[in-house]
Amino acid sequence: MREITVLDKTFKLFKSEDEIRASIKVIAETINTDYQGKTPLFIGVLNGCFLFAADLIREISLDCEISFVKVASYKGMKSTGEVNQLIGLDRSLEGRDIIILEDIVDTGNTIENIVDLLEKAGCKSIRIATFLLKPEAYKKSINIDYVSMEIPNKFVVGYGLDYDGFGRNIKELFVLKD
């Protein structure tokens, strides 16, 4: 079994390039069917989604657009809670069919915040496509519409996902060694 080291941790091979590509093709075909006659706007959530977005979009045969956002969290000057903001939205979402592209849905906190923010923008519909979902960790009620792979509640790296900023360039998906 192939192993790699990223910073101070050892990871073992979990999903090959072929397995990743095949799983993405499956959801792309479903999206192509579900959105026939529509012109969806894909919104990729950076940084982690960049490889997933690149591979998924090339399997989409619909007329479509793609744009990318970053989620910024900051502590309000007076409030104690965190407020999330989407940076980089460069077009109107009014009346659009939105498909959010995420690298991974873990507890679901991030995706819930993103959906809350997008719902205020007057979209016609919002669906979520994620490369990975950790069902054991997912705590929210929002439906995750398109999932390439469900994985156990373990830390993974590669294919866009990082460990402390590193490992995003790895072609395959690796899982933390026990």
User: Count residues contacting ligand IMP (CB under 6 A)?
Assistant: 13
Burial of 1 (0-12, 13-18, 19+ CB in 10 A): exposed
Residue from the set 48, 118, 126, 170 that interacts with ligand IMP by CB under 6 A: 48
For ligand IMP, the binding residues in 105-124 under the rule CB under 6 A are 105-110
Element (H, E) at 114: helix 109-119
Binding ligand IMP (rule: CB under 6 A), the pick from 55, 97, 103, 172 is: 103
Taking CB under 6 A as the rule, does residue 166 contact ligand IMP?
A: no
Among 126, 156, 170, 173, binds ligand IMP (CB under 6 A): 156
Phi, psi values for residue 54, rounded to 5° = -65, -40
State the residue for tokens 């373990």: 154
Burial 52-82 (b: 16+ CB within 10 A, else e): bbebbeeebeeebebebbebeeeeeeeeeee
Q: How many CB atoms lie within 10 A of CB 138?
A: 17
**Smallest separation (angstroms) from ligand IMP to the CB of 57:** 19
**Nearer to ligand IMP (CB atom), residue 57 or residue 175:** 175
Per annotation, catalytic residue among 103, 106, 116, 178: 106
By CB under 6 A, residue 172 contacts ligand IMP? no
DSSP conformational letter for 80: S
Instruction: Go through the chain and tell me how many residues it has.
Output: 178
Of residues 69 and 157, the one with the C-beta less far from ligand IMP: 157
Q: Give the DSSP letter of residue 18.
A: H
User: Minimum distance from CB of 92 to ligand IMP (Å)?
Assistant: 26
Assess whether 106 carries a catalytic annotation: yes
Task: Answer yes or no whether residue 100 interacts with ligand IMP by CB under 6 A.
Answer: no
Please give the residue ranges that form the binding site for ligand IMP (CB under 6 A).
Answer: 48, 103-110, 155-157, 161
Catalytic residues: 106
